[in-house]
């Protein structure tokens, strides 16, 4: 039944952003599908799930959906970045690509209420603010998202359609009831409209219950009322053909229903047509796209089906969920695999999936997704399961070395026997994680990496990671020849499959060449590393600060001062978001920047960088190479005139880190929550940055920092 009143509002709206916000089952999806079908503009439709609360996932999916219907510069945003850099790196390019789309389109984001992460909401805000002319963005959600909607409203860019507009009036309710075969009096209709507040799903469920029970009153009828549950169980399912009933019960384990998925789950054929038929019969099967290729069950209906299946046939419930689990693994859909394993009570299987994904998700910036999965387990379960404890450790790399150590120790305390789910021995993986954070000195890092390398399989990236750690460590312990051999082995073993490893191995080889005075070789290594970073979109990764620092030094040595200064600034920006990695790594990057800064006339930068090595050196005391280099460069910096050590160049990494957040709407308290700092610490860093920039307010600081290239405009 066309919803004429809200459809008219959508069709006549001049605002580019349409916010359809109301409680579940209000007909939001149906309304937007009717609107999209009637509009001549091409439509991209994305039904959001909790997985989209990861901002990297959300940007990628919007880009892919739009790329199918309009000329869209998807390459600008196809590469994920760590969440802290998303707003300053990816989103400006995303905005430019949107504005350049050229062709008017409709973009529907359904179930936006699944987005709670600030940066995921910032992605939606970016889309809303950068639509091309005559394009429309429709947002459907249960509750209005925490967007900066006031600015859109003030500029007349947003039209709200809420519960009042979506609520059915008496005429619409009477038509719905009549369509369901319910002969209700005007008084009965009015009572149901009042009891449900016009909620379409509530009215429909009430219609189903009315056949056996008198119309419930306002106080008696609720979504979880026993009349609704009883009707679904005893009347709706019992009144269906046996094959329809078994189909509904069996496929209720799936959140998203497609023909192929249902066929595979039940071992049948023809599921797509059956779904369409069930939808046509209004059996609480909701289409998810205008072409009716994907569906879901109404949430209350699905809950009732699942409860019925689990109660009456627990064996089938477990078997179907495990079959769906296997299919999800085959489809590389860890989100669904984890849900099905948990539903079947196979919590160890779910934990194993999380572990298999943890290293790759961490390295590609999807930590928010990993943490959301882990929250499905209690703290006690996380501590007692080696897979979960190790996953928590990977989530902390490279953000919090203390947390890595704590979770590694917890994993060892579980007493896990045998290999991990990916075939790796527990001892080898804990040794590798300890080597990555290298909190106990360079020599211990090398020993841990060597121990891990002996036990880990040659396939995959692990042995290559070990080779990188061993090579860099041996060089810092005075064995440059041995270090070079291991670093070349790292490139041979994993460079092609793991771009970040390739770039870092090349950078370390370039550092060895530069220290030997072979600047031609150093330049070649730096260019190779920069090429890898550019081709694979690694420019936002904090660990790539080493690559940019080497490039800055090579450019400065060659007399390309402007290139050196640009690389110097980018390296410092990356260092500002990097914490928790091995102290030797952070010291090495800063020493490269000190040398580059001295060569290209940036004494303030050199002063700050050498000072920042101080707190890191106790964990590097066993590297005579680093100790000597720090002492040499400190003496050189101390000989500089005192008057040249101030200004914007003297911003510390901590101050630069705070500076990146100043253009956002976040308060000092909220910035502190993001960075695990107190509000007082954030404010202190911000005020220090103001002083060095020569400004007195946040807005002036943003303007000055943007002009200097310290942050994106």
Note the pLDDT tens digit of each residue in 667-679.
888 888 877 778 8
Q: How confident is the model at residue 81 (pLDDT cuts 50, 70, 90)?
A: very low
User: Rounded to whole angstroms, how far apart are CA atoms 180 and 284?
Assistant: 12
223 has a pLDDT exceeding 50: no
**Contact status, residue 476 vs residue 515, Cβ threshold 8 Å:** no
CA atoms of 572 and 525, how far apart (whole Å): 20
Q: pLDDT-based confidence at 47, cuts 50/70/90?
A: very high
Nearest of 456, 455, 452 to residue 469 by alpha carbon: 452
Q: Lowest-confidence range among 47-51, 156-160, 274-278?
A: 156-160
pLDDT at 21 over 90: no
Q: How many residues does the chain have?
A: 713
Structure-model confidence comparison of residues 413 and 87, the more confident one: 413
Q: What is the pLDDT of residue 279?
A: 85
In the Cβ-directed half-sphere of 220, how many Cα atoms lie within 13 Å? 13
Whether the Cβ atoms of residue 270 and residue 276 lie closer than 8 Å to each other: no
- Extents of the domains making up the chain: 4-166, 170-236, 457-644, 654-707
Confidence of residue 220 (pLDDT cuts 50, 70, 90): very low
Quick one: tokens of 407? 């979770």
Given this model, what pLDDT does residue 222 score?
47
pTM for the whole thing? 0.73
Sign of CA dihedral 55, 60, 63, 69: negative
* 190 vs 691: which has the higher pLDDT: 190
The CATH homologous superfamily of the domain defined by 4-166: P-loop containing nucleotide triphosphate hydrolases (3.40.50.300)
If one compares 383 and 232, the residue with the highest pLDDT of the two is: 383
Non-local (6+) Cβ contacts of 153 within 8 A are none
Mean pLDDT of all residues in 401-415: 91
CA distances for 376 relative to 118, 180, 381, 504, angstroms: 21, 39, 10, 35
User: What whole-number percentage of the chain has pLDDT above 70?
Assistant: 88
Identify the residue with better confidence: 524 or 710.
524
Average pLDDT of the segment spanning 250-254: 96
Query: β-pairing, 136-141 with 106-110?
Result: parallel
Q: What's the pLDDT score for residue 668?
A: 85
pLDDT value at residue 604: 86
Q: Phi and psi (nearest 5°) for 711?
A: -140, 165
Looking at residue 236, what DSSP letter applies?
Answer: I
List CB contacts of 479: < 8 A, sequence separation 6 or more. Answer: none
When pLDDT is cut at 50, 70 and 90, the band that residue 217 belongs to is very low
Measured CA to CA, the distance from residue 20 to residue 710 in angstroms comes to 39
Q: How many CA atoms lie within 13 A of 383 on its CB side?
A: 5
Tell me: pLDDT of 468 over 90: yes
Q: What is the CA radius of gyration of the chain?
A: 29
**DSSP labels for 21-56?**
E-STTSSHHHHHHHHHHH-SS-EEEEE--GGGGSHH
Q: Is the peptide bond before 681 cis (omega within 30 degrees of 0)?
A: no
Per-residue three-class SS string for 356-389? HHHHHHHHCCCHHHHHHHHCCCCHHHHHHCHHHH
Question: What pLDDT, on a 0 to 100 scale, did the predictor assign at position 79?
Answer: 46
Residue 69 vs residues 10, 79, 106: alpha-carbon distances, Å: 21, 20, 10
What three-state secondary structure class fits 283? coil
Contact 516, 549 (CB under 8 A): no
Class of domain 654-707: mainly alpha
Q: Which residues contact 325 (CB under 8 A, 6 or more apart)?
A: 336, 337, 340, 341, 344, 346, 349
Give the SS3 label for residue 311.
helix
Residue 212 · residue 235 · CB < 8 Å? yes
Positive or negative, the CA dihedral 623, 624, 625, 629 is: positive
CA pair distance 571, 549, nearest whole angstrom: 6
- Cα separation, 380 vs 174, in Å, equals 53
Quick one: average pLDDT of 393-416? 88
pLDDT band for 665, please (50, 70, 90 cuts): confident
* 206, 196 contact by CB (below 8 A): yes
Instruction: Over range 347-360, report the average pLDDT.
Output: 93
- Mean pLDDT (whole number) for 634-658: 72
Whether 87 has a pLDDT exceeding 80, the answer reads no
pLDDT value for 3 = 78
- Evaluated on CA atoms 693, 694, 698, 700, the torsion sign reads negative
Provide the token pair at 531: 């090429």
Instruction: Please check whether residue 702 is in contact with residue 663, taking contact to mean a CB–CB distance below 8 angstroms.
Output: yes
3-state secondary structure of 196: helix
CA distance 321 to 301: 18
What is the model's pLDDT at position 581? 75
The pLDDT tens digits of the residues spanning 420-440 come to 998 899 999 999 999 998 988
Judged by average pLDDT, the poorest of 93-102, 471-480, 643-652 is: 643-652
- Residue 259, pLDDT score: 95
Is the pLDDT at 323 greater than 90, yes or no? yes
Residue 600 has what pLDDT? 87
pLDDT (0 to 100) of residue 73: 52
Looking at residue 504, its pLDDT comes to 92
| Percent helix, strand and coil across the chain, each to the nearest 5 | 65, 5, 30
Q: Do 288 and 48 meet the contact criterion of CB atoms below 8 Å apart?
A: no
DSSP notation for 158-220 = EEEE-HHHHS--HHHHHHHHHHTT----HHHHHHHHHHHTT-HHHHHHHHHHHTTSPPP-TTT
What sign has the CA pseudo-torsion 174, 180, 185, 187?
negative
State the CATH architecture for 457-644: Alpha Horseshoe (1.25)
């Amino acid at each position: 039944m066309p919803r004429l009143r809200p459809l008219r509002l959508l069709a006549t709206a001049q605002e580019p952003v349409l916010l359809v916000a109301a409680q579940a089952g209000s007909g939001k999806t149906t309304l937007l599908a009717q609107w999209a079908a009637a509009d001549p503009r091409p439509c991209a439709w994305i039904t959001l799930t909790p997985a989209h609360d990861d901002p990297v996932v959300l940007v990628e999916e919007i880009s892919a959906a739009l790329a199918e219907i309009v000329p869209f510069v998807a390459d600008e945003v196809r590469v994920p970045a760590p969440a802290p850099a998303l707003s300053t790196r990816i989103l400006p390019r995303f905005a430019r690509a949107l504005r350049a789309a050229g062709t008017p389109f409709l973009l529907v984001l359904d179930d936006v209420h699944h987005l709670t992460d600030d940066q995921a909401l910032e992605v939606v805000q970016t889309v809303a603010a950068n639509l091309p002319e005559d394009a429309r963005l429709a947002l459907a959600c249960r509750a209005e998202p925490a967007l900066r909607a006031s600015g859109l409203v003030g500029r007349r860019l947003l039209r709200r359609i809420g519960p009042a507009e979506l609520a059915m009036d008496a005429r619409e309710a009477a038509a719905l009831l009549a369509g369901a075969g319910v002969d209700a009096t005007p008084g009965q209709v009015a009572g149901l409209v009042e009891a449900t507040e016009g909620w379409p799903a509530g009215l429909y469920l009430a219609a189903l219950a009315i056949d056996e029970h008198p119309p419930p009153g306002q106080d008696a009828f609720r979504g979880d009322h026993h009349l609704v549950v009883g009707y679904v169980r005893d009347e709706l399912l019992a009144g269906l053909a046996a094959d329809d009933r078994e189909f509904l019960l069996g496929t209720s384990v799936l959140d998203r229903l497609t023909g192929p998925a249902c066929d595979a789950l039940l071992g049948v054929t023809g599921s797509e047509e059956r779904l369409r038929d069930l939808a046509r019969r209004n059996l609480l099967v909701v289409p998810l796209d205008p072409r009716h290729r994907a569906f879901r069950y109404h949430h209350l209906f699905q809950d009732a089906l699942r409860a019925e299946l689990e109660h009456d046939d627990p064996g089938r419930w477990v078997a179907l969920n495990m079959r769906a689990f296997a299919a999800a693994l085959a489809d590389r859909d860890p989100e669904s695999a984890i849900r099905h394993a948990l539903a079947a009570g196979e919590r160890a299987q779910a934990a194993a999936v999380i572990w298999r994904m943890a290293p790759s998700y961490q390295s590609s910036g999807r930590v928010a997704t990993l943490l959301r999965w882990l929250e499905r387990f209690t703290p006690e379960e996380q501590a007692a399961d080696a897979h979960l404890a190790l996953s928590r450790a990977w989530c902390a790399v490279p953000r919090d070395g203390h947390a890595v150590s704590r979770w590694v120790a917890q994993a060892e305390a579980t007493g896990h026997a045998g290999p991990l789910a990916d075939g790796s021995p527990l001892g080898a993986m804990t040794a590798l994680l300890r080597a990555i954070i290298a909190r106990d000195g360079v020599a211990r890092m090398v020993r841990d990496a060597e121990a891990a390398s002996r036990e880990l399989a040659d396939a995959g990236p692990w042995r290559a990671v070990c080779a990188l750690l061993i090579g860099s460590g041996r060089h810092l312990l005075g064995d440059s020849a041995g270090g070079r051999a291991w670093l070349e082995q790292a490139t041979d073993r994993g460079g092609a499959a793991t771009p970040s490893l390739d770039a870092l191995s090349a950078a370390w080889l370039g550092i060895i060449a530069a220290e030997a005075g072979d600047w031609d070789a150093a330049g070649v290594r730096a260019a190779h590393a920069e090429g890898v970073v550019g081709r694979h979109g690694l420019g936002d990764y904090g660990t790539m600060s080493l690559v940019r620092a080497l490039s800055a030094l090579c450019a400065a040595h060659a007399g390309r001062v402007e290139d050196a200064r640009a690389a110097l600034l980018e390296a410092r920006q990356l260092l500002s978001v990097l914490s928790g990695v091995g102290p030797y790594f952070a010291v090495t990057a800063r020493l490269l920047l000190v040398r580059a800064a001295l060569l290209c006339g940036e004494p303030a930068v050199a002063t700050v960088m050498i000072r920042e090595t101080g707190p890191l050196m106790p964990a590097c005391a066993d590297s005579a190479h680093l100790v000597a280099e720090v002492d040499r460069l400190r003496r050189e910096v101390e000989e500089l005139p005192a008057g040249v050590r101030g200004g914007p160049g003297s911003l510390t990494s901590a101050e630069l880190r705070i500076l990146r957040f100043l253009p956002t709407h976040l308060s000092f308290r909220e910035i502190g929550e993001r960075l695990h700092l107190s509000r007082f610490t954030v404010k202190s860093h911000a005020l220090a940055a103001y002083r060095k920039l020569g400004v007195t307010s946040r807005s002036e600081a943003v303007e000055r920092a943007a002009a200097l290239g310290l942050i994106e405009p």
